[in-house]
């Protein structure tokens, strides 16, 4: 397994010709596509300008991807793969709240390492994109849901989690905190919203550590067996 974007995950959405070109060129095309889609959103991204910025002809681009849709899906798919790989590093055996805190810090790091992925992900969740998003079948959500399932199972078995907790509802609520936490570091709108909601004054920065501690404390008090 390689960390190179495009090394895997695009198997469904590109044409075979894309596999045959130089890996660096492949990665570069995907990087340019990611940057364009992230900055402008899917609908406002022009395929001609994208090809120009990647330094390739529009003919070449269409020989690699059948449509703008397919290129977008390829980018999203790489993103799901990348974030899914990060998530799979979390071991529920470390304990429920340690795992949950890892997830938050991974979300925080992902916002810095892959800011564009988060912006594209958010764009893909809008209603105008629903027909496109349906083709992706919520792969990342399935990975996350499975992690929570294992975390709650282990947490109840070890006595860390109250036995009466509804794991499905609790997983949904906890992951909602993670998603909005991640959004808050990924886009201008959500950054502003975090500043307004937390009451930060101008020039003051959010203290990541205190925010993570607040969210983990919420999880512990809400679902922990020994609050």
Q: What are the residues binding a copy of itself (CB under 8 A)?
A: 38-44, 119, 122-130, 133-134, 138, 141-142, 144-145, 148-149, 166-173, 175-177, 179-181, 184, 186-190, 192-194, 196-200, 210-211, 214-215, 217-218, 221-222, 227
Q: C-beta of 64: minimal distance to a copy of itself in Å?
A: 23
Half-sphere exposure of 129 (CA within 13 A, CB side): 21
Task: Name the percent of the chain in helix, strand, coil, to the closest 5.
Answer: 70, 0, 30
What is the smallest separation between the CB atom of 168 and a copy of itself, expressed in angstroms? 4
Short-list 60, 69, 3, 1, CA closest to 29 = 60
Nearest-angstrom CA–CA distance, 224 and 156: 9
Contact between 58 and 148 under an 8 Å Cβ cutoff? The reply is no
Rounded to a whole number of angstroms, the minimum distance from the CB of residue 206 to a copy of itself is 9
By beta-carbon proximity to a copy of itself, the closer residue of 64 and 97 is 97
Nearer to a copy of itself, 26 or 117 (CB): 117
* Alpha carbon distance 103, 92 (integer Å): 11
In whole angstroms, the minimum distance from the beta carbon of 197 to a copy of itself comes to 4
Closer CB to a copy of itself, 89 or 188, in the complex = 188
């Amino acid at each position: 397994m390689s960390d190179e974007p495009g090394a895997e995950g695009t198997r469904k959405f590109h044409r075979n010709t894309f596999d045959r070109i130089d890996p660096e060129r492949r990665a570069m095309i995907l990087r340019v596509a990611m940057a364009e889609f992230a900055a402008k959103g899917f609908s406002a991204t022009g395929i001609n300008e994208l090809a120009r910025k990647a330094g390739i002809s529009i003919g070449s681009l269409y020989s690699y991807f059948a449509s703008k849709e397919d290129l977008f899906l390829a980018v999203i798919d790489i993103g799901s793969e990348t974030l899914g790989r990060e998530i799979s590093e979390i071991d529920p055996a470390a304990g429920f709240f340690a795992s949950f805190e890892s997830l938050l810090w991974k979300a925080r790091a992902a916002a810095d390492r892959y800011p564009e992925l988060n912006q594209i992900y958010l764009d893909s969740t809008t209603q105008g994109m629903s027909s496109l998003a349906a083709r992706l079948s919520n792969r990342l959500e399935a990975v996350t849901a499975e992690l929570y399932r294992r975390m709650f199972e282990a947490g109840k078995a070890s006595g860390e989690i109250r036995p009466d907790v509804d794991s499905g509802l609790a997983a949904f609520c906890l992951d909602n905190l993670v998603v909005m936490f991640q959004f808050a570091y990924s886009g201008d709108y959500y950054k502003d919203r975090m500043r307004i909601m937390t009451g930060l004054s101008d020039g003051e920065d959010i203290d990541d550590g205190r925010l993570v501690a607040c969210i983990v404390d919420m999880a512990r008090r809400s679902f922990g067996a020994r609050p």
